[in-house]
Amino acid sequence: MSHKQSRVISSRSSSRNRSSSHSSRSSSRNHSKSYKNKKRNHSSSGSSSSSSSRSSSRSVEVNRSSSVPNDKEGHLVCVPGDVLESRYMVQSILGEGTFGRVVQCVDFMRNNSTVAMKIIRNVKKYREAAKLEINVLNKINEQDPYGEHSCVKMLNWFDYHGHVCITFNKFGDSVFDFLKKNEFQPFCVDQVRHISYQLCKSVLFLHENRLTHTDLKPENILFHNSTSDVIFDRMMNKSINVVRSSDIELIDFGSATFDYEHHSSIVSTRHYRAPEVLLEIGWSHPCDVWSIACIIFELYTGNTLFQTHDNLEHMAMMERILGPIPYHMIKKSKKTKYFHRGKLDWNDNTSSGKYVKEHCKVLKSYMREHSLDHEELFDLLLLMFNYDDRYRIDLRSALRHPFFRMFNSSHANNNNYYYDNNTNNGYGAAGGGGDDYDWDAYYSLSR
């Protein structure tokens, strides 16, 4: 293989500029991937034969004995035209994270089809983390061989001179990238419904296989095809992009954790982190449900609900939007520095307090209109945003919520959505029938 060492691919920043304001998104948001310390036994399959467990945090040690060029951070130095394993020709760089880079390649052994390849840095802890992710991907392939649950399918993996490489089908933009290109204009309510339904179904599949994703966010949801049409919205008096198909695929299982494995105390990207994680009182599948609720809100409004980088401010935002954190959760937490006499130790008169007061309001205040669709959406959000994970709605129940009734009808056509630029609404196939689920009983249980 020929590597042009004179050319170095420039790094791309993984920070996101966003603001919690309804009108702007200017605050910096770092979404670098952090691999948590977990104790796992890994039985490798495929072309790698090593067996390892999650290592404790150490200084980065790049393998300098590799016969291919690495940069100082352990990234593989490659440029368009380079060929790996006499099979994959690099075409372009798609993205970069703490773990490594994702490149677009032509796969000579799959009829020259286009694939996405995740190339892990040649650093021990990231190699070990990648092999753990491969374990999860193998489980997904085994349990869902035909890709019916919208979880990305691993096509192949191999060790290339110390770089673990994993290949996948190439999809479109992430939900976040589409929002960003569209100036964070929200999706129509029916596209919010369709994306949310698929996401709930995907994550339920993981939960049923004793897995928690732990890093759900718009960056990790890809459109199958992000081709869009430019529509002039009369109500906003501007042109917006409307994605033609809202079919999605869930990606990035590098932090996914089996029920029987060690659970790191802190998981999830900050803005999608559940209260039980903030309080460090233990987490399980319900922490994914909280993250999904944050994502649904973001699809609906175009804005991040909890735009902060500080634990205390984060909990103050939660209380401003959802009400007080239950006392029994506070009592259980060892994070006593955040509380005084059983209440959040927060001052509304500080600069941070004024910021939260100005930018956060009661959840239902964000409703765009008071129609049945919007009411049902926010009803579902409130069930997902239950502080107590014991009573937070599970995904099997969520999929039966009235907001998703059209998908529970035998007459539903999940993919037929169009946009009416007169009303700023999306429309899909008419949903038939009601749901016989006993929601009154559920609400009484969750209170």
The answer to whether 215 is a known catalytic residue is yes
Q: CA-to-CA distance for 38 and 35, rounded, in angstroms?
A: 9
Q: Which of 82, 159, 190, 215 is catalytic?
A: 215
Which residues lie closer than 8 Å to 438 by C-beta, 6 or more apart?
A: none
Count CB neighbours of 290 within 10 A: 24
3-state secondary structure of 343: strand
Whether residue 125 is annotated as binding a ligand: the answer is no
Which residues lie closer than 8 Å to 170 by C-beta, 6 or more apart?
A: 104, 114, 115, 116
By the 10 Å C-beta count (0-12 exposed, 13-18 middle, 19+ buried), 278 is classed as buried
Asked whether 103 and 152 are in contact (CB, 8 A), the reply is no
Of 146, 161, 142, nearest to 48 by C-alpha is 161
3-state secondary structure of 305: coil
* C-alpha dist (Å) from residue 215 to 34, 91, 266, 295, 433: 10, 28, 11, 11, 35
Which segments are annotated as binding site for ATP?
118
| Residues involved in catalysis | 215
Binding-site residues from annotation: 118
